[in-house]
Copies of this chain bind each other. A is one copy, B any other.
Amino acid sequence: MAMVYVTRRMHFNAAHRLHSDALTEDENAQTYGACNNPMGHGHNYELEITVKGTPDPVTGMVIDLKDLKDLVQHVIIDKIDHKHLNYDVDFMRGIVPTAENIVVALWQQLRDKIPAGELYELKLFETPRNIAYYRGE
């Protein structure tokens, strides 16, 4: 029984502002620099969802990647694509939208809904050079 990891890569565009209510204005400016700009800025985020499991002996699939795509579209992408992460997303309220916090929040939305196999890793590309990933540890 082989353990195989399958990954679907998806994308969304969103605005965000790095700003913590637990910090003063000066501390926010110093901590987040240009990312603290009051009107926000934005990114073309890429999200890689990896599910691990043993391929079904009949279908040869760990999970139908089309089903995984549709699930993530419904549970995550539809709620954050073309949105402002500080204001428009219920499950992000009160959370500073760093890549680290976003990827953990997305994990919590998704982990119990995977119909086959097990969620192994979420990897979020804020830009091609700034990346965060989470494995539920």
Chain A 68-99: CB-based contact to B (< 8 A → 1; otherwise 0): 00000000000001111011100000011111
A7 → chain B closest CB, angstroms: 4
Decide yes or no whether A65 CB sits under 8 A from chain B.
yes
A12 → chain B closest CB, angstroms: 9
Consensus secondary structure, chain A interface:
mixed
Cross-chain contact of A35 among B82, B101, B131 (Cβ < 8 A)? B82
Per the bound structure, the CA–CA distance linking A137 and B61 in Å amounts to: 16
Question: Given A5-B132, A23-B58, A96-B59, are A42 and B39 also a contact pair (CB < 8 Å)?
Answer: no
Question: Given A31-B59, A128-B9, are A14 and B41 also a contact pair (CB < 8 Å)?
Answer: yes
Chain A 19-31: CB-based contact to B (< 8 A → 1; otherwise 0): 0101100000001
| Interfacial chain B residues near A7, Cβ < 8 Å | 130-133
Decide yes or no whether A34 CB sits under 8 A from chain B.
yes
A103 → chain B closest CB, angstroms: 7
Residues of A within 8 A of B (CB): 2-11, 13-16, 18, 20, 22-23, 31-35, 37, 39-44, 48, 55, 58-62, 64-66, 81-84, 86-88, 95-101, 103-104, 127-135, 137
List the 9 closest A-B pairs by CB distance, nearest first: A42-B42, A39-B84, A34-B82, A60-B96, A60-B98, A15-B15, A7-B131, A3-B137, A15-B42
